Copies of this chain bind each other. A is one copy, B any other.
Amino acid sequence: MMFEERIYIERREKLKKQFQTGKLLFLGNDECGINYADNTYYYRQDSTFLYYFGISKPDLIALIDIDGDKEYVFGDDPTVDSIVWTGSQPKISELAGKAGIHHTGDLSAFRKKISGLDKQSVKYLPPYRAEHFLKLNDFLGYSVAEATAKASREFIVAVAGQRNIKSQEEIEEIERAVDVTSDMHLAAMHYARAGMTEAQVTARVHEVAIAAGGNLSFPIIGTINGQFLHNHYHGNTLKEGDLFLLDAGYETPLGYAGDMSSTFPVSRKFTEQQKDIYRITLDAHHKAIELAKPGVNFRDVHLHVGEVLFDGLKALGLTKGDTKEAVANGAHALFFPCGTGHLMGLDVHDMENLGEQIVGYAGVPKSTQFGLKSLRLGRELQPGFVLTIEPGIYFIPELIDHWESNKINGDFINFNEVNKYRDFGGIRNEEDILITETGNRVLGKPLAKTIEEVESEREKAWLG
């Protein structure tokens, strides 16, 4: 699937205007063998390649010659033999034509082309797959270290500037992704029961994504140990009283991501303790959505979220002292060691491969403080940005012990009280928003979020 031709043409025109000279090299992604070359993971094209050329197919290379004002796509046509295995497939020239590209050739033509270029003139984006390094070595003679060091900052800045502002057709596509994402979460709420494994629940969520014709936008986090932030182990059995944290998203066939999190009780109802913590995360969530608008630095949104979380926990006796001072010292990060949100688009962490510093921080160095160093977005928001809002509260026993024994932020934390929550787990809700001219709009089908809404959806898991 592709957008219509003019969209790719316009995107490339805009890109080309950023350059005076040079050759822009776009390395497509290849297949990756799981346990041998021909048993491959599902194929995913590089997002920048998708953005400018739209063709989701392995073994392609594109080149924009700024000096000669020519655009090329290179790749080998399907062989007659391959018809038996995959049916007849379009030629490269046909695919490239759909993106408005009229210069095509096979890979040996590319090899000839690049060997005739001054390699200093070839600009490329940071490689992130092993095959990219092999190609840069093959084509330009760069070692792994050189290939990383020589990626073009000018090229990164131009692409990030363009991809960060979502167009109307991109917003519609992202909204389609978020709609299915919302369905995935609702399916889990309607399905999970004590006695099931985490794998059974995540399988159901996975099914909704695949059935919709696309894929997951990232590996599912579906766990009764929500305190571990990137936990992909799904072997535990759900028990009454547990909290189930689901972080999952859909990727449309065009490659756009949705990303939501929800947290619900394995039992029919939240416990009072769970409600106390849940309400604080929702307050923080609302505060973030209230503040996110053009001109506001998202780092400030994040720090306000930290204050709401800190204040909420103070009311429960877990924290103490002056809130602003505590947050400035990073004391909230004991419970919230990650960020309030990240950019989202063709990648769930949009353009993470181009480097957070340019994409998420507009070149400004990021804080190294524990907590803040994990905030992926710390720049002024602009209309057209799409980002996640995902405050949470996590009780990580190893981290609590580490802070307590090392007396970290001891002036702000009541460790005795905190230790009563050691087995609590974690809570996160996550939605996706678009920054508009005046504020923001939450994208996609609304998902149960308040305590009452979540408990009401959970009832359906008992209706069969």
Contact = CB atoms under 8 A, between A and B. Distances in A.
Contacts of A235: 213
A133 interface: yes
Contacts of A219: 39-40, 42
A398 interface: yes
Contacts of A396: 83-84
Contacts of A230: 85-86
Contact of A210 (B30, B131, B199, B402): B199
Given A134-B134, A230-B85, A41 B39 contact: no
B399 A229 contact: no
A2 to B, nearest CB: 14
A32 B129 contact: yes
A347 B38 CA distance: 11
Contacts of A352: 36-39
A463 interface: no
8 contacts: A32-B130, A33-B129, A35-B44, A36-B353, A37-B352, A39-B349, A85-B228, A130-B131
Interface stretch (A201-209, A266-274, A324-332): A201-209
A18 interface: no
A351 to B, nearest CB: 8
A130 B128 contact: no
A347 B87 contact: no
A428 to B, nearest CB: 14
Contacts of A348: 39
Q: Which 10 A-B pairs have the closest CB atoms?
A: A130-B130, A203-B210, A203-B211, A36-B353, A207-B207, A130-B131, A36-B352, A87-B228, A41-B41, A200-B211
A140 B352 CA distance: 32
Contacts of A203: 206-211
A144 B130 CA distance: 12
A212 interface: yes
Interface of A: 29-30, 32-42, 44, 46-47, 80, 83-88, 128-131, 133-134, 137-138, 144, 197, 199-200, 202-204, 206-213, 218-219, 225, 227-232, 234-235, 337, 346-349, 351-353, 396, 398-399, 402
Given A32-B32, A353-B35, A206 B202 contact: no
A451 to B, nearest CB: 27
Contact of A346 (B35, B86, B131, B197): B35
Contacts of A38: 349, 352
A408 to B, nearest CB: 13
A212 B88 CA distance: 36
Contacts of A88: 398
A134 B128 contact: no
Contacts of A229: 84-85
B42 A46 contact: no
A374 to B, nearest CB: 8
A348 B33 CA distance: 13
A377 to B, nearest CB: 15
Contacts of A207: 203-204, 206-207
B41 A32 contact: yes
Contacts of A234: 213
Contacts of A37: 128, 352-353
A231 to B, nearest CB: 6
Contacts of A206: 203, 206-207, 210
Contacts of A227: 87
